[in-house]
Chain A
Amino acid sequence: MSALHIKKGASKHSAYNLRPNFSDTQERHTITVLVENEPGVLARVIGLFAGRGYNIDSLTVAEVDHTGHLSRITVVTTGTPQVIEQIKAQLGRIVPVHEVTDLTVAGPFVERELAIVKVVGEGEKRVEALRLADIFRAKVVDSTLSSFIFELTGAPDKIDAFADLMRPLGLTKIARTGVAALLRGE
């Protein structure tokens, strides 16, 4: 290394270090992808993940610029650092992709998910469900004498926690939107 006078910081200059360097540590990354909203664009993104064996933990998509016909896809994925780098590079190759941002790397970001949760029960359990919903600032969006549907927004782990608490109180169905996320600040 010294013979070449290259200062590469932590880089080990050897393929021997490839595996340890790109260790088996699984990292969770939230990546947003700005795409042209044309037919098949979501299939391209999903097909990339399936075809190359990457994980999708969560995926949301909607058109965010109606005049420019641009959609924002927010995908939460887990993988080794090397896999995460590959995912971003591979996403960047897709022709209708305009921009790929790894929020986990780019800085602090806000991450929100919406869930609607059906809880069926009567008596004490029903009262307790309503009390917990209040603590979580969940809204009641539908009610019968024996059921509620709650609407809840928050980070995915908040929704997980709410669902865990509701399960013994009669949670029967849950629908989640997946994560939408943006960088904090300007």
Chain B
Amino acid sequence: MTREMTGAKMIVQALKDQGVDTVFGYPGGAVLPIYDEIFLQNDIRHILVRHEQGAVHAAEGYARSTGKPGVVLVTSGPGATNAVTGLTDALLDSIPLVVLTGQVPTFMIGSDAFQEADTVGITRPCTKHNWLVKDTDRLAPTIHEAFHVATSGRPGPVLVDVPKDVQFATGTYQPPKPTASHYQPAVKGDMEEIVELVAAIETAKRPVFYTGGGVINSGPAASQLLRELVEATGFPITSTLMGLGAYPASGPQWLGMLGMHGLYEANMAMHGCDLMINIGARFDDRITGRIDAFSPKSIKAHIDIDPSSINKVIKADIPIVGDVAHVLEDILKVWKSRGRKVNREGLAKWQGQIDDWRSIKCLSYAPSETTIKPQYALERLEALTKGRDRYITTEVGQHQMWAAQYLGFEDPNRWMTSGGLGTMGYGTPASIGVQVAHPDALVINVAGEASWLMNMQEMGTATQYRLPVKQFILNNERLGMVRQWQELLHGERYSHSWSEALPDFVKLAEAFGAKGILCKDPKDLDDAIMEMLDYDGPVIFDCLVEKHENCFPMIPSGKAHNEMLLGDAETQGVIQSGGAVLV
């Protein structure tokens, strides 16, 4: 079943054989033969972005919302270097991507040729793996291997660099083979450790599930098994930013997000628990706060497919290396076979304690009748879109944290945000990638005006492909999170943290062929949101909000989970010099 064909044709054939239906890309000199092949077929849809960074974020949105790898095609040199931020973003959030880059012909490599860059060198630290293909016969096996590596074990971005002469030359196409790769990460967890964890589950008085993006990456079965385990044990559950939706926000055991801007009850439960079950999270510094005061009295179980995550930051007492779904299945099996035991008495007391923490109502804020509070805007957005076939993307900053706090996610793969890298400019292209994958769904990018401007060129992509993405901009004319830190850490000296000379977003929308909506009065907000939702096309919603609102709760840098700030009154002089050096 092998066939002779050119390298360019081989690439398109390999993508088809890998089940790819969509490619996000931008043409250029070094990929023209591939674009020619794309022109000659109809199976793969190419989405022309406006900037290569946008292509990678769009592919991330596509991947995160479908569970399939995202595919990107860009040219050599600047095409590849523009993709670097997106690759790093995908690496830190474990998003499977296959990025194809053109390269100058093999005989010109190293000569500082036009649009030459050492792409594999530049992207080595920001990909899971990468390849430079110098032989057309190796092209198809390498692309198949690239898909295998991107999606196996801990997912991540991979890159295949293809010189132009390799695209023109003829070689033998090889279809995918299932066992071709030596890279086969283990998915089953160690049974002895699993039994130990089950024993801990049976006796724990103050347990908590702490789940992360690994549950989402493991697939829908993992979320299903997690829900079963949480329901059956009655243990409370919190999640990182990346794991929202694995357990439904409406579920009775849900504590809300944890971490620096997590909910009071979630962080207090983490601090006070006696058994912490980390499922597919990585003890990120946004989660742990001060390491030496992190959950001091708990036994810590850590389930992760990546052995390097274990003991990297926090010592795991019960380390389980494996895929979340496989491990959860075994935990449930063992726990059921041993009689479904839990410490009912202890759990009842623990629940009482959690209810006390909940009663603080840490997400309450001072309402206003004259200005739109950002929290209010998100509460209304949640109320008016709840129950719809909804996907949310975000940019990075205060609005992102508020979105995580005030929007409820009932299912996995519905929430796309830049967690690890914190990439401003992620949300707009990501929303486009999501909408391409789910044409009939409601896709909203919750943004701040500063982040939004970073990749606003992608509105052109939205208009071109009639993607009805809703850009919901909480406009405070500030770099809100930077401003908040300057208030807390730098004596209210607001160095370059305001947005001057902002565009008129309504006119900007019209210039892009989209609809613009401006809203500044809380009384008009519901009608304006409905107008956005009812419009069958892309919308830029300019929501003028309170300019100096701070995001709470907040664990200040260098503090522990039980030292949260709940409101403005508590913020004076809270961050000591030791904490100030932390980000």
A residues near B (Cβ < 8 Å) are 1, 3-6, 8, 11, 13-19, 21-22, 36, 39-40, 43-44, 47, 51, 82, 85-86, 89-90, 92-96, 98
Judge whether A21 and B315 touch: CB under 8 Å.
Answer: yes
**How many angstroms from the CA of A86 to the CA of B307 in the assembled complex?**
9
Question: B310 and A13: CB pair below 8 A?
Answer: no
Contact, CB under 8 Å: A15 / B294: yes
Write out the residue numbers on chain B whose beta carbons fall within 8 Å of the beta carbon of A13.
298-300, 317
Return the contact of B182 from the options A1, A5, A40, A98 (Cβ within 8 A): A98
A44 to B130, CA, bound (A): 10
26 pairs, CB–CB < 8 Å, chain A vs chain B:
A4-B200, A4-B203, A4-B204, A4-B299, A6-B196, A13-B298, A13-B299, A13-B300, A14-B296, A14-B298, A15-B292, A15-B294, A15-B296, A15-B300, A15-B315, A16-B293, A17-B315, A22-B315, A43-B124, A51-B125, A86-B308, A86-B311, A89-B312, A92-B308, A95-B149, A96-B129
Whether, in the assembled complex, B574 has its beta carbon less than 8 Å from a beta carbon of chain A, the answer is no
| B317 and A47 within 8 A (CB) | no
Query: Shortest distance in angstroms between B98's beta carbon and chain A's nearest beta carbon?
Result: 14
Contact partner, B295, options A3, A15, A36, Cβ 8 Å: A15
B165 to chain A: which residues have CB within 8 Å? none
Question: Which residue on chain B has the smallest CB distance to residue A81?
Answer: B311
Residues on A with C-beta less than 8 A from B296 are 14-16
Question: Residues of A contacting B299 with CB < 8 Å?
Answer: 1, 4, 6, 13
Nearest to A18 among chain B residues (CB) is B315
State the B residues within 8 Å of A (CB). 120-121, 124-125, 128-129, 132, 149, 154, 182-183, 196, 199-200, 203-205, 274-275, 288, 291-300, 306-308, 310-312, 314-315, 317-318
**Least Cβ distance of B196 to chain A in Å?**
7
Q: Given A3-B205, A4-B204, A39-B132, A47–B124 Cβ distance below 8 Å?
A: yes
Residues of B within 8 A of A22 (CB): 315
> Chain A interface mostly helix, strand, loop or mixed?
helix
- Distance to closest chain A CB from B59 (angstroms): 20
B203, chain A: closest CB distance, angstroms = 5
Q: How close is A166's CB to chain B, nearest CB, in angstroms?
A: 40
A96 to chain B: which residues have CB within 8 Å?
129
Contacts of A47 in B (CB 8 A): 124-125
Closest A residue to B314 using CB positions: A15
Query: Once the chains bind, are B295 and A6 in contact (CB under 8 Å)?
Result: no
CB distance from A146 to the nearest CB of B (A): 43
**Nearest-CB distance from A74 to chain B (Å)?**
21
Complex Cα distance A40/B294, Å? 39
On chain B, the residues within 8 Å of A95 by CB distance are 128-129, 149, 183
Distance in angstroms from B498 CB to nearest chain A CB is 35
Q: A85-B311, A89-B310, A98-B182 are in contact. Are A14 and B297 (CB under 8 A)?
A: yes
A165-B269 Cα distance, complex, nearest whole Å: 63
Which residue of B120, B291, B292, B310 is within 8 Å of A40 (Cβ)?
Answer: B120
Q: Which chain B residue shows the least CB distance to A17? A: B315
- The distance in angstroms between the C-alpha atoms of A94 and B125, with both chains bound, is 11
Cα separation A18 to B310 with both chains bound (whole Å): 13
* CB-based contact B291/A18 at 8 Å: yes
Cβ–Cβ contact A11 & B317, under 8 A: yes
Determine the chain A residues whose CB is within 8 A of the CB of B318 once the complex forms: 6
